Structure 1
Amino acid sequence: MKILVIYTYPNHTSLCYAFLEKVIEGGNENPNIKALKVLDLYDEGFNPLLVFNEHKRRRDMHLDPHLNKYREQITWADKIVFIYPIWWGRPPAMLMGYIDQLFASNFAYRDKKGLLPEGLLKGKSVVCVSTMKGPANYPFFWLNNAHKILMKRALFNFVGIRKVKFFEFGNMESPKGNQIKKLEKVCCYFKNVKR
């Protein structure tokens, strides 16, 4: 199994970065994982802005040479891991800009007759590790589970990815947030995951 980790947080002394370290630690101890690559969107200087004009059209994003490297990473990976905070009930703009550009028509999906497209990323799986300041049940009770619906149904299922696991951790700024226990839970998952 080949894993691509997409890390989206601007601070390397953060809890999000500690989760990244635990994913790497667990992955390095798992004999089922052949290779693990990390894409740090902030360190990379990834530009999340969409630009469309007479020279750059939305329908041609799958051909954009500036995105070749990122498309190759997604194609290479069996499992894609996203690590990010939940801000305002959804992932950060940096990650959404990456998704807007990479999960494009004729790369991640293809339009066909009927209501839904053909997902072109079938066979891959996804893990979302997200942190938030608010309580763990906040997105479920107050936002009708909007974060998970956005990520699983509106994005991953749309492009053919059916296997999606969430680690959605709340109360992460609280001294009673059980951060160490949650970090170990993620590490343990990656030590043992088979596919």
Structure 2
Amino acid sequence: MTARIFLWVGHPRETSLSHGMADAYERGARAHGAEIRRMHLSDMSFDPDLHDGYHSRKVLEPCLEAWRENILWANHLCWAYPQWWGGMPAKMKGVIDRAYLPGFAMRYHENDPWWDRLLAGRSADALMTADGPAWFDQLAYGRPAKLQVENLVFKFAGIKPVRTLQVGTVKTAKPEKIQHWLKQAEARGRAAAKRLA
């Protein structure tokens, strides 16, 4: 089986360390034969609000349709993004609110509180940058951004295993530290491609 990886850069800016981490991950994955589809949040234009919740559906903009199509095509996902205020950027969360819906990611049962996980059979990596070290995030807050993406987004829809690489402190990182993080991201890409080969 060939690794088919959907790589999504969830930083709202056009350039960032998240982009560099994604570049490194892609390099590692392509070196081991992976097919890659890639999207950037900064290129996506859509209304991020799910105004009526699940009570009525809005027509998905073309970029959201493409995002969903790439998830269905992939057997592995990699999302690279910054941790802001214990979670993901608002625009990134807007993609999930608008497109990661019942009937696509999950299907709720009518007569019990459970659900079917419609994206099972895929695995994922999350590459998160932060302005604090992961050990402090764990000690002080329990790593809420990691729990959000792993448990409440990926695993909720059946995507597992999920491997998260959280790096920081970004704002004071010296070039050699950033190079170390990029090498880690490249190694994650290689490992994903090898597992799915």
**How does the TM-score come out when normalised to structure 1?**
0.87
Q: 1:169 to 1:175 in 2, by over 3 A?
A: closer
Instruction: Please give the residue correspondences for 1:1-195 in structure 2 after superposition, counting only pairs within 5 Å.
Output: 1-31=3-33, 33=34, 35-52=35-52, 58-59=54-55, 61=57, 64-66=59-61, 67-112=64-109, 113-176=111-174, 178-193=177-192, 194-195=195-196
Q: Say which SS state the counterpart of residue 156 (structure 2) adopts.
A: coil
Residue 68 (structure 1) shift: 2.7
SS in 2 for 1:126: strand
C-alpha distance in 1 between matches for 2:157 and 2:146: 15
Shift of 1:65: 4.5
What CA deviation, in whole Å up to 9, does each residue of 1:12-50 have, x standing for no partner? 44211211210221122012x1x2011101123343222
8 Å Cα contact 1:133/1:173 also seen in 2: yes
Structure 1 residues 180, 124: closer, same or farther in 2, change over 3 A?
same
- For residue 99 of structure 1, report the CA deviation from its aligned partner: 1.0
Counterpart contact for 1:139–1:147, Cα < 8 Å: no
Name the aligned partner's letter for residue 38 of structure 1: R
**Would you identify which runs of 4 or more consecutive aligned residues in structure 1 move more than 4 Å?**
none
- How well do the aligned residues superpose, as a CA RMSD in angstroms? 2.0
Once the two structures are overlaid, the 10-residue window that deviates more, 182-191 or 66-75, is 66-75
CA deviation vs aligned residue, 1:48-67 (integer Å, no higher than 9, x gap) = 22233xxxx72554x83434
Equivalent-residue separation in structure 2 for 1:145 and 1:163 (angstroms):
18
Q: Secondary structure at the match of 2:134?
A: coil
Q: 1:87 to 1:2 in 2, by over 3 A?
A: same
Q: Could you list the runs of 5+ residues in structure 1 that have no partner in the other structure? A: none
Decide whether aligned partners of structure 1 residues 97 and 26 sit closer, same or farther in structure 2, where only a CA change above 3 A counts: same
CA–CA distance in structure 1, aligned partners of residues 162 and 191 of structure 2 = 16
Task: Check whether the contact 2:86–2:143 (CA below 8 A) recurs between aligned residues.
Answer: no
* TM-aligned CA deviation for residue 115 of structure 1: 2.9
Question: How far does the alpha carbon of each residue in 1:78-137 deviate from its partner, in whole angstroms, 9 at most, with x for none?
Answer: 111111000111111111111111210011100114332110000011110000111222
8 Å Cα contact 2:60-2:99 kept in structure 1: no
Task: Find the aligned partners of 1:85 and 1:168 in 2 and give their Cα distance.
Answer: 9
The percentage of counterpart residues that share the same residue type is 25
CA drift of 1:141 comes to 1.2
